[in-house]
Amino acid sequence: MKHFRILIFLAGCMTVIISCRKDYEVIPLEKVTIEYVFDQDDSLGTYANKFLNSIYSKLPGGYNRVGGDLLDAASDDAISGLVGTSAVSQLATGAYTSYAPVADESPWNNCYAAIRAASLFVSNIDVSPVKEKLPNGASIRYAWKAEARFIRALFYFELLKRYGGIPLMGDKVRELGDDVQIPRSSFSDCVNYIVSECNAIKDSLRPNPVVAPELNSHRATRGAALALKARVLLYAASPLFNGQNIEGNNPLTGYNSYDKARWKQAADAARELINERTFSLVPNFKDVFITQNNSEVIFFRQGGNTTEIESTNGPVGFAAVARGRTNPTQELVDAFPTNAGLPITDPASGYNSNDPYARRDPRLAMSILYNGARWLNTELQTFQGGQHRPGGAEPGTQTSYYMRKFMGNFENATQYSNTSHDWIILRYTEVLLNFAEAENEANGPTAEVYQVLKDLRARAGIAAGSNGMYGLKENMTADEMRNIVRNERRIELAFEEHRFWDIRRWKIAQQVYGKSLHGMNIIKDGPAFNYNVAAVFKPVFIAPKMYLYPIPYDEVVKNDNMRQNPGW
């Protein structure tokens, strides 16, 4: 097998051992061979384990990954502080093609490199006679193999939600010179494959939660497999793929017809994890994102203790230098109800347009920084001419808002200090919301759906009210509940790379992007402020083809069996 030498490098696996974490070490490239990594005499599986960690390092991160911005800045929830010159602005205006994609949001090659690395691990790990045992007595080698299959399934989903049906490679690890004229599999086959992988590995993965040193806290568990399965089935049941296929009977872009049973499958998948009661809501919403190994996090990409998120997204105008890149929109701010749980358009809500941030859902202050909010021992001035809305090379906020979520507790500090910034890929709240959405579509607004919303609102700090409904209307129709669940999802999961995909899978992107996005133009008048909503950016959704990304031009050219997506 000596001919495999350097093949790992050619496949994009040069970083078998990643040095960004203290538990990884560097192996000289000339020693990186299949025999070295998967050694039949290595009873500890030392290098196989390190190779697996290198595959984990390929997982997508979300913090300002698209040209320095969050993906949500390409949705209706935020814009970039750099507006028209940013990569996310290209996404939001359709300024991309199959041969000129937005680089940081064109993951085809990276995903397949990770898939190949995972398959390489799956195909060779049985050589290593790893003696370490799981609590159930099984060799940890089986858990490692299941972890690689989970990562592979996750990367297939990353491709699926962007492109529709994609080529499924199976376990075969192709070498240079192999025939790669592989056609795309149908959307249905891709969903079935990912779901079957999750089912096959769930009992081989570590139990929930990981009871191990922090060294292993990033590893995939049974809960991760169940949560991924629930997410995949939710997408498959959603309008874009289930009944509103952008090209009729094209099996690559969705199902041929609507089937309500797909919603039930999605609800049942989420319920399976919920019923295991191995995860729970963290009492304080802010703690979910800055406290490691908490009860709500199911799966994450390791980050580090840094000030990077604060320095990239925090308000400008402080001695603690920040760039203010993520500017939440007025549309997102208005989506937050009052602390009575009622929308701000409801006359009974208590909303005051002259004091718009008072008596609001506490998640607003924990997600967004606004004029008058406390930050770095100062009350923010995002009014015209205010200290925290200047122009210049770092222009500050275009909307009068900054993102607060993910950042440390710096309200009363004078400077930033290192804070945990793991990127959460799967968390329990999403599973609850996935269940609520799917259950409502399958069976209407059942008591279980109401309970999910009550639990989330109670955790947020919304008042229960005399009827214990947390502002929710009793006896809602399925359509009314759909709107409530979608809005709850929007505010609870803001900036977590859900909104961009949600408005696509719900097939409402043409409606959403058909309107200007707004901010707040605030004028200081003595001790008072005048608040005026103002347009700040106009997204564009050119045609239905934009519901899916184009297959990269190079892939279509070199593979005679590769079909391009409709319209591209």
Report residue 210 CA to chain centroid gap.
21
d(CA 291, CA 170): 37
The answer to whether 81 touches 324, Cβ cutoff 8 Å, is yes
* DSSP assignment letter at 4: G
Decide if pLDDT at 129 tops 50.
yes
- Segment 204-251, tens digit of pLDDT: 999 877 755 556 788 999 999 999 999 999 999 999 999 999 999 999
Which of 19-28, 96-105, 456-465 has the highest mean predicted lDDT (pLDDT)?
Answer: 456-465
Residue 472's identity, in one-letter code, is: L
Q: What is the average pLDDT across 148-158? A: 98
- Segment 395-434, tens digit of pLDDT: 789 999 999 999 999 999 999 999 999 999 999 999 999 9
**What confidence score (pLDDT) does residue 391 get?**
66
DSSP calls for 504-563:
HHTT-HHHHTTS-EEEEEEEEETTEEEEEEEEEE------GGGGSPPPPHHHHHH-TTPP
**What confidence score (pLDDT) does residue 80 get?**
95
Decide if pLDDT at 501 tops 80.
yes
Decide if pLDDT at 307 tops 80.
yes
Decide if pLDDT at 25 tops 60.
no
**What confidence score (pLDDT) does residue 21 get?**
37
DSSP calls for 228-286:
HHHHHHHHHHSTTTTT--TTTT-TTSS-SS--THHHHHHHHHHHHHHHHT-----SSTT
**What sign results for the dihedral spanned by CA atoms 513, 357, 526, 403?**
negative
Neighbours of 326 (CB within 10 A): 32
**What sign results for the dihedral spanned by CA atoms 503, 340, 516, 105?**
negative
The answer to whether 480 touches 449, Cβ cutoff 8 Å, is no
**What confidence score (pLDDT) does residue 16 get?**
40
Decide if pLDDT at 2 tops 50.
no
Tokens of 370: 């606004």
Decide if pLDDT at 22 tops 70.
no
**What confidence score (pLDDT) does residue 4 get?**
32
**What confidence score (pLDDT) does residue 213 get?**
53
**What confidence score (pLDDT) does residue 123 get?**
93
Q: What is the average pLDDT across 131-149? A: 88
Q: Which of 280, 308, 274, 282 is nearest to 422 (CA)?
A: 308
Give the pTM: 0.93
Tokens of 369: 């920084």
Q: Which helix (H) or strand (E) is 32 found in, with range?
A: none
Q: What is the average pLDDT across 449-456? A: 98
DSSP calls for 154-206:
HHHHHHHHHHSS----TT----TTS---PPPPPHHHHHHHHHHHHHHHTTTSB
Longest dimension (CA), the chain: 79
